[in-house]
Amino acid sequence: MYSRYLYSFQGRKRRRKDRGLWATLAERNSMETQNTIGIAGVGKMGEALVRGLIVGRVVPASRVLVSDAIPARAKEIAAKHGVTSLETVADLARESDILVLAAKPKDMPSLVAGIAAHVKRDALVITLAAGVRTAFVEKSLNGRGRVVRIMPNLACAVGEGATAFALGRSATEHDALVVEEIFGAIGRVTMVDEPMLDAVTGLSGSGPGFIAALAHSMIEGGVRSGLPRDVAYKLALQTMKGTAELLLIDGLEPMQLFRMVATPNGTTEAGWAVMEKRGVPPAISDAIVAASKRAAELAAEVAKAHG
């Protein structure tokens, strides 16, 4: 099995060339024109994926179908992004070569039950629900389709998603390449063993919420220090974005960069002393662990209720 690591579009190209699976332009065009991607559930994450697919030109809008438990929501998303809405998830399943299940964990059992008899036998079924195992989806589909479990995040909407995925029992290496093609166009993607996806959920799935809360606190600190809120907002967010790019491009360990910024007895050390005194660093780490444990609990709840 091939190595598992985060990579950019350029990294993906190098990786495929090394493996002798370099996709030609004609092959990619074939995917874009022949495969239809259906998205069942267009809440925040589902819409983020629709937007990412269109903006990232993964497939033309004419090949993207959407459906939702609230039909008006599907119609709204279809009108907003120029895709096609279908009335029922059964219709969506019948029409989709690649079917993305973007329901919440509590809604996934009923969603899978509603599509089980309608999924194409050779369809690729991608499930996004936190904690819902591939084995559960495979059992519910009675052998129809090949299942991949994936955990993207909301940043897919702007082409900066952090996504990890795991192959189900019947999914193939080609399916992995398809997932990479789709989600690599809207961010960075890595393959992991399925048990790791609970931790992925806690880190990068919940991460945008944690980082947004951290950004809020940084902005508040800037305002308390005398900056206008709009100035503090721009500076805080650009600082977060720029720091992430520095770490990714230069391959630095985070604390290595911290030491580059924190001169002895300087401003960064003064602020860090407050953060350490109030237990901020371990609290952030503990938050990731708590979110990961909750993802595992959700899986157990689904398995107990529908096992």
The pLDDT value recorded for residue 4 is 38
CATH classification number, 207-292, choose in 1.10.3730.10, 2.60.40.1120, 3.40.50.150, 1.10.3720.10: 1.10.3730.10
Q: Parallel, antiparallel, or unpaired: how do β-strands 146-151 and 161-167 relate?
A: antiparallel
Q: How large is the average pLDDT for residues 192-214? A: 95
Q: Is the pLDDT of residue 303 over 80?
A: no
- Starting at the edge strand found earlier in the chain, the sheet holding 124-127 runs 84-85, 64-67, 37-40, 98-101, 124-127, 146-151, 161-167, 187-191
Q: Indicate whether this model's pTM tops 0.75.
A: yes
| pLDDT at residue 86 is higher than 90 | yes
> Hey, where are the domains in the chain?
9-200, 207-292
- Residues 58-70: tens digit of each pLDDT: 889 999 999 998 9
Which pLDDT value is given to residue 306? 64
Measured distance CA(6)–CA(283) in Å, rounded = 26
Sequential DSSP letters for 145-213: SEEEEEE--GGGGGT-EEEEEEE-TT--HHHHHHHHHHHHTTEEEEE--GGGHHHHIIIIISHHHHHHH
User: What type of residue sits at position 3?
Assistant: S
State percent of the chain over pLDDT 70.
89
Tell me the average pLDDT across 137-159. Answer: 91
Domain 9-200 superfamily per CATH: NAD(P)-binding Rossmann-like Domain (3.40.50.720)
Instruction: Give the model's pLDDT for residue 16.
Output: 39
Has residue 142 got a pLDDT over 70? yes
